[in-house]
């Protein structure tokens, strides 16, 4: 029986599309059963509709407090009984209700080799620092900003002529591959979290 993935998105949905494409193969071990967003009218939701995947939108503007929004997001995800939740370009921090329900079962990606260069400008910060190698990280979501236990990483070289856009495009390619491979391994082999260490497999 395939694992149930709920994917949360905020933008274009290229990582979502990679997961949808991978799930077409039964051997992948997972199905995207729902796609959720924090805002309507984005391309990622169009991708889900095209693939006949149910969608939901939980907007922060529709809730009095961030806590109430987090409770609503948690309930919307829970209705689809996910085995794993994937934040695929989801540009909101989840809070206590969400983590209480799905802690250890939610992964995110970041365009740098954590713990270096966390936050929303990981690519720019790596360039400004002059590193020769950067990359991407899949991590378990916790209550911090890109501070969760690291599941997997891939390196990407920094070229002398790189600017933020060219480097980020190469990182995105690596990120899609890493996310698809890591989620596939997690659902097929299982995973465990012990402090800051994540183990895939028995």
CA distances from 128 to 140, 147, 153, 164 (A): 27, 21, 21, 10
Where in the sequence is the domain holding 178, given as residue range(s)? 3-191
- The answer to whether 129 and 112 have CB atoms below 8 angstroms apart is no
Q: Is the pLDDT of residue 1 over 90?
A: no
pLDDT of residue 47: 97
pLDDT of residue 123: 98
pLDDT band at 46 (very low <50, low <70, confident <90, very high): very high
What would the mean pLDDT of 4-29 be, rounded to a whole number?
97
198 falls within a domain:
no
What would the mean pLDDT of 167-187 be, rounded to a whole number?
98
Could you give phi then psi for residue 95, rounded to 5 degrees?
-115, -165
Q: What is the pTM of this model?
A: 0.95
The angle at the Cα of 16, spanning 28 to 61, to the nearest 5 degrees, equals 140
63 is catalytic: no
132 falls within a domain:
yes
133 falls within a domain:
yes
199 falls within a domain:
no
pLDDT band at 182 (very low <50, low <70, confident <90, very high): very high
Distance CA 147, CA 137 (A): 11
Distance CA 193, CA 202 (A): 12
CATH number at residue 93: 3.40.50.170
Alpha-helix runs per DSSP H in 64-156: 66-78, 96-102, 122-129
78 falls within a domain:
yes
201 falls within a domain:
no
Q: What is the pLDDT of residues 97-113, one digit of tens each?
A: 999 999 999 999 999 99
Catalytic, out of 110, 121, 129, 159: 110
pLDDT band at 43 (very low <50, low <70, confident <90, very high): very high
Number of domains in the chain: 1
What would the mean pLDDT of 19-48 be, rounded to a whole number?
97
pLDDT of residue 54: 98
Q: Is the pLDDT of residue 135 over 90?
A: yes
Closest CA to 171 of 10, 6, 14: 14
197 falls within a domain:
no
């Amino acid at each position: 029986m395939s694992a149930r993935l709920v994917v949360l998105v905020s933008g274009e949905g290229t990582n979502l599309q990679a997961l949808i494409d991978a799930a077409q193969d039964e051997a992948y071990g997972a199905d995207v059963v729902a796609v959720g967003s924090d805002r309507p009218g984005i391309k990622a939701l169009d991708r889900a509709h095209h693939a006949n995947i149910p969608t939901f939108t939980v907007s922060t503007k529709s809730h009095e407090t961030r806590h109430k929004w987090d409770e609503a997001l948690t309930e919307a995800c829970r209705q689809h009984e996910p085995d794993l939740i994937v934040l695929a370009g989801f540009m909101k921090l989840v809070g206590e209700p969400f983590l209480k329900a799905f802690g250890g079962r939610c992964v995110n990606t970041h365009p740098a080799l954590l713990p270096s260069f966390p936050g929303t400008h990981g690519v720019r910060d790596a360039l400004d620092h002059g590193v020769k190698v950067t990359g991407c990280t899949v991590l378990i979501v916790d209550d911090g900003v890109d501070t969760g236990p690291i599941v997997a990483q891939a390196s990407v070289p920094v070229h002398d002529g790189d600017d933020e856009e060219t480097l980020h495009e190469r990182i995105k390619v690596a990120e899609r591959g890493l996310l698809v491979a890591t989620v596939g391994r997690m659902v097929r082999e299982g995973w465990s979290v012990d402090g800051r260490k994540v183990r895939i497999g028995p």
